[in-house]
């Protein structure tokens, strides 16, 4: 074996890193504080100090075709949006299949205030939301249309199911691409009157809440603060990650630029509308090549300039420079280009048009990043061409005819027909 690599935590980020180390001939040792793999996905009915956990009823927000390891699809019969025990089952099977468990050492201690877009897991024609929205053509439009048009398009999509203004949910700045809330029940609860939306709390009394609009809610039973997650790395100095003004300063959200040698990579400290598993898989593939020395990092100055550029982009799209949010497809393509795993779309249209249509207009599924380059998976092409079959299979429990797959080109022609017609009428009018 080659260099020895220490990996902290045996969640999906840790497992992806172990596998990437093995692929690159390195010697990984993973330290896991708890008794099992899975990280956050390992539900525990009792609190453990220093360990975050999901709650028992958690389901995934990403569908199964969009959140698998790129060479390891979920079983066909698994539902599209899975309960956490299904994710844990998948993670366990993956670790055993890839022979990762022997590299893990367990039990080691190492020292609406502003509104939100609310979207359903069920999107156009009943397909999973991410298989419809997370695609290269959407990203192409976002990157190339004027921002005013891109913002209009985004708000139109977010309001596709219901008008957020009518429900009191409209974000203060609806054009920012902040992570939406995934909830299939909230709009119906508001319609039925079982949930009321109020502005920010001004103050609490002993038994009531006073809101900023002056209204008061009496006889409160309990208050739940949905404040989200914090993050901490208690086993090393926080200044390594936040080296300037409490900002996260990591090159490509992985490497601290201030270290003399690139011997430390942070896997999984990033958020996007894409799923975590394919993201950390690609992060680990590149990071391990950097540690091994087959990929190199630019100078500290160039890395800091890139970080500053990224922060300006985040301010533009997400509204704050210290967020961990990033654009999923742009980020994945950037990482994939570093290791030669980015699919060449024009070349695909010339050599394999059927696959090219699925890759460009269809879901940007994890399999795309195992089509070419190091770690190429022979089954990637077939996995992409059959991903809709697997998405539909768990719902085919009553035969009512042949399930219809989406016509990707038809969908985009239909969506673009109206703006094209408007432009045509305008051009004809000014002549």
Q: What is the rounded distance in angstroms from the CA atom of residue 54 to the CA atom of residue 151?
A: 33
Q: Write the DSSP assignment of 342-386 as a string of letters.
A: ---HHHHHHH-HHHHHHHHHSB--GGGGGSSSTT--TTHHHHHHT
Residue 420's pLDDT is 58
Residue 413's pLDDT is 60
Q: Could you say which residues of the chain have pLDDT below 50?
A: 108-111
Q: What is the pLDDT of residues 3-23, one digit of tens each?
A: 888 888 888 999 999 999 999
Residue 378's pLDDT is 95
Residue 50's pLDDT is 64
From 338, 335, 254, select the one nearest 296 (Cα to Cα). Answer: 338
Residue 282's pLDDT is 95
Residue 109's pLDDT is 41
Sequence-distant (≥ 6) Cβ neighbours of residue 233 within 8 angstroms:
240, 241, 266
What domains can you pick out in the chain, each with its CATH number? 4-113+229-345+364-389 (3.50.50.60)
Indicate if the alpha-carbon torsion angle 239, 240, 242, 244 is positive or negative.
positive
Six token digits for residue 238 = 């926080």
From 81, 76, 92, select the one nearest 58 (Cα to Cα). Answer: 81
Q: Write the DSSP assignment of 119-175 as a string of letters.
A: E-SB-GGG-BHHHHHSBHHHHHHHHHS-HHHHHHHHHHHHTSSS-HHHHT---SSTT
Residue 203's pLDDT is 87
Residue 225's pLDDT is 77
Sort 205 into a burial class: Cβ within 10 Å, 0-12 / 13-18 / 19+: exposed
Residue 255's pLDDT is 94
Residue 114: Cβ within 10 Å count: 12
Q: What is the rounded distance in angstroms from the CA atom of residue 126 to the CA atom of residue 122?
A: 5
Q: What is the rounded distance in angstroms from the CA atom of residue 151 to the CA atom of residue 175?
A: 5
């Amino acid at each position: 074996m080659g260099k020895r690599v220490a990996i902290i935590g045996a969640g999906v980020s840790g497992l992806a890193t172990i596998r990437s180390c093995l692929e690159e001939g390195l010697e990984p040792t993973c330290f896991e504080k708890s008794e099992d793999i899975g990280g956050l996905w390992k539900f525990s009915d009792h609190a453990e100090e220093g360990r975050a956990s999901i709650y028992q009823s958690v389901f995934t927000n990403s569908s199964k075709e969009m959140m698998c390891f790129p060479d390891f699809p979920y079983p066909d019969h698994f539902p599209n949006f899975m309960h956490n025990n299904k994710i844990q089952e998948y993670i366990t099977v993956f670790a055993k299949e890839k022979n990762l468990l022997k590299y893990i050492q367990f039990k080691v201690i190492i020292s609406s205030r502003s509104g939100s877009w609310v979207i359903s897991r069920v999107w156009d024609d009943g397909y999973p939301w991410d298989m419809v929205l997370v695609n290269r053509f959407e990203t192409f439009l976002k990157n190339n249309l004027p921002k005013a048009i891109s913002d209009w398009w985004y708000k139109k999509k977010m309001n596709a199911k219901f008008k957020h203004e009518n429900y009191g949910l409209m974000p203060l700045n609806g054009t920012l691409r902040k992570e939406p809330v995934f909830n299939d029940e909230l709009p119906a609860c508001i319609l039925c009157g079982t949930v009321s939306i109020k502005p920010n709390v001004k103050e609490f009394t002993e038994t009531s809440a006073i809101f900023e609009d002056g209204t008061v809610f009496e006889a409160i039973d309990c208050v739940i603060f949905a404040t989200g997650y914090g993050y901490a790395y208690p086993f090393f100095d926080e200044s390594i990650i936040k080296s300037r003004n409490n900002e996260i300063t990591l090159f490509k959200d992985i490497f601290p630029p201030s270290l003399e040698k690139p011997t430390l990579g942070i896997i999984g400290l990033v958020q996007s509308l894409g799923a975590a598993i394919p993201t950390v898989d690609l992060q680990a593939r590149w990071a391990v090549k950097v540690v091994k020395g087959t990929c190199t990092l630019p100078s500290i100055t160039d890395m800091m300039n890139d970080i500053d550029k990224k922060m300006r982009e985040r301010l533009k799209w997400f509204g704050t420079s210290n967020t961990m949010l990033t654009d999923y497809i742009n980020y994945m393509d950037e990482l994939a280009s570093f290791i030669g795993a980015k699919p060449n779309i024009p070349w695909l249209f010339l050599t394999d048009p059927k696959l090219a249509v699925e890759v460009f207009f269809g879901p940007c599924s994890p399999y795309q990043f195992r089509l070419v380059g190091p770690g190429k998976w022979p089954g990637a092409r077939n996995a992409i061409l059959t991903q809709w079959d697997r998405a539909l299979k768990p719902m085919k429990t009553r035969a009512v005819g042949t399930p219809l797959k989406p016509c990707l080109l038809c969908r985009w022609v239909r969506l673009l027909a109206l703006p094209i017609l408007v432009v045509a009428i305008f051009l004809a009018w000014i002549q």
